[in-house]
Structures are given as C-alpha cells and as structure tokens.
Amino acid sequence: MASSHSRPQETLFIVPSIIDRYLIREIGLTLLATLLALMAILLSHRLAGYLSKAAAGLLAKDSVLLLLLLQSIDMVIVLAPLAFLLSIMLTLGRLYRDHEMTALAAGGQGPLAVYRAIFLLATPLALLTLSAALFLLPVIMEWQFEALAKARKEAEVSMFTPGAFREIMKGQHVIYIGALDERELRNVFIQSREPDGDFSITTGARGRQDIDEQGIRHIILEQGHRYRGVPGRGDYDLLSFERATMRIDTRSSVETWRHRETLPTAQLLRSSEPMQIAELHMRLNSPLQMLLIALWAPLLARAQPREGRYGRIVAAILIYAIYFNLVGIGESWLSQGVVSSWVGLWWVHGLFLLFGLGLLLHHYAGSPGFQRLWRLVRGG
C-alpha cells in the first residue's frame, strides 16, 4: 500500500498535472496573442520606415517584405520577455479576479503549484530563446545586412527616372536625368539649396551613383559645370569640372556597430573586445529575463478581489521598463569598457533576482512552509 501511494508523489513534479496543463495553456495562449500584438505594432512602424525609404529611392521596393521577415525573427527574441510578463499578469490577474485562484488554493493547489506551472513553461521557452539568440540570430542578421545592401544597390537604378524631376533630402536637391544607360546617368541636372540661402545648379554630361564604406550614397558627375548665386541677380559664379561628387543621403542607413550581431557565438566567447563581449551578454539577456520574470511576476499579479483590473499590469510594465533601461545602460558601459567582462550585465540581473526574492519574503515569510524551509536551511 505504501508503494502504491508513493509513486504518484514521485511523478508529480515530472508529469504536469491537470492544473499545470490548465495554467500552461492559459498563459501560453495569452503569450502568443500578446507577442503577435506587440510584433504587429513594431512591424507596422518598421514597415512605414521601409516604405518611406523605398519612396525616396533608398531601398528597392521588392526587398521590403524580405527585410520585414528577417526583422520579425529578431523582434521575437527581443519581445519575448515583455510578452511573457504581460501573459502572466493578464492570466493570473483574471484568475485572481474570478476567484479561481481561491478555488485552487482550497483544493490544495497553492503558490507552489502556480510556480511549478509557470516554470514548466518558462524553462523550455528560455532554452528555445537562448538557442535562437546564440545560433540562429547571427545567421539571420547576416542575411539581413546582405539583403539591405542588395536593396540599396538595386535602388541605384530605380531611384531616378529619365525625363522626370526628383526631389531628395527633403527638398535640398532636385535632380533630373535625361537618359539612363544601365547604371550610367546621362545629361544630369541638379538644383541645390545651399545652407547660406544661395542656389546652385550643377550639370554633368555623365554620372553614376556610388555608396561608400559608411553606406552613404553619392552622385559622381563627370565633365560638367556648376553655377551658384542668388536668383534674380546676374552675378553667378561659374565653375567647370572634370569630376565632382555630391552627397544625396541625409545619413548612413547602415550602422556599422550592428555588424557585431553577425559574429558567431564561438567567436564572441573567445573575444576580449568590449563590443563583442557586450554582444554576447545581450544574447544571454532575453532568456535570463524570462526566468527572472517567472520568479517575480506571479507575486505582482496577486490582485485583491476589488482591486482595479489594470493597476498591477501598469506597475509591472514600469518595472520592466526600468529593467530594460538598466540593461541598455549596462550594455553601453560594457561596450565602452567602463565595466569589466566579469561584471557584464550580471549586476542588472542580480538586482532583479534580489527584487524577486524580496517579494517572496514579503508574501510568504510568515507561512508555515517557509518557516519549515528556513529551519531546514539553518540546520535546525
């Protein structure tokens, strides 16, 4: 008889119970819906930026969807901790408000059962996020930079239409080309508004577009003339040239520091450069955040029966915002060598580990189970 009763207790923490499966399903479905909603918001913003660049001739229109797809994979990793936090707050908040948590506690399913279900979900999610950040993300980012470079290269041809005027750099330049022979521009006319208020007109028999190492686009004109002066006056300055270069990008669209995201994780582990060490810690950030959120989010979600519906959710978002900003500060310090690689971002995660432990003490310090655990730790 004793052996028959001990077997279910041994498998309790291995095979999820009905309550575990219920909580995992509710939190998992909310997590999926929240993650899709957050991605839709960010992707729509990113889509607007890509379409604006495509309209300005800085990106090929056919590459927009591919760039969005590659961006979405990176967004999943970045948004996963926030979506996990919101899913816990929304699900447990509803269960507390509908008194389902009271019913579970009356049936012997106390806080330990809730934590067991959350960590049964958080652990595989953190491992999946870790694998994607360490091994999949560098490949995806490499594809993204290659697609971006290709899109900008293809936009060289589509940026200008023969026989039509095109305004670029917010009206600073108006460009007209008479003909387009593959990548060579013919009979180029450029009207420019100078910083001092003067206007200039630059013409060239031939020209071509060029992108330098910083990703800044220029038009290189050959065998041309440049006129500069004030409209309505006849004292224009005339300059003839064999070759002239004019910048037509407001800024570089390629952030060179982000190329560290394409480096393999094995190379980051061997590196001693601050930028690469910071990248390694950022790849570990989302999985660690998810595990720490699983520690303190259930305690924040403990709503009282008559408490407002969204007050604790707003508080959780504010706490996560502090967490997110501290990670950004720590990453900046690590990139600049202000803190050592041994400190890294561990101090940020350590602060929120202490925060979670403090909440546990606040909520359960007087419970009989905690008292028994404390006596066991003290050896008494």
Instruction: Round to whole Å and give the CA distance between 356 and 320.
Output: 13
Q: Could you tell me the CA-to-CA distances from 171 to 78, 159, 166, 191, 252 in Å, in that order?
A: 37, 15, 9, 10, 18
- What pLDDT was estimated at residue 312? 87
Domains in the chain: boundaries: 2-154+256-378, 171-247
- In order, the DSSP letters of 335-372 are HTTSS-TTTTTHHHHHHHHHHHHHHHHHHHTTSHHHHH
Bridge pairing between strands 199-211 and 184-193: antiparallel
- In order, the DSSP letters of 39-52 are HHHHHHHHHHHHHH
Structure token digits, residue 244: 């002239």
pTM here is 0.75
pLDDT per residue, tens digit, the chain (380 aa), is 444 444 444 343 457 788 889 899 999 999 999 999 999 999 999 999 888 877 766 777 888 899 999 889 899 999 999 999 999 999 988 888 777 776 776 666 767 888 889 999 999 999 999 999 999 999 999 898 888 877 876 765 566 777 878 777 767 788 888 887 767 888 888 888 877 777 888 888 888 877 776 667 788 888 888 888 877 676 778 888 888 888 876 554 445 455 788 899 999 999 889 999 999 999 999 999 999 999 999 988 886 666 666 788 999 999 999 999 999 999 999 999 899 889 999 999 999 999 999 988 877 665 655 555 555 545 54
Instruction: Round to whole Å and give the CA distance between 146 and 69.
Output: 14
Instruction: Round to whole Å and give the CA distance between 267 and 149.
Output: 24
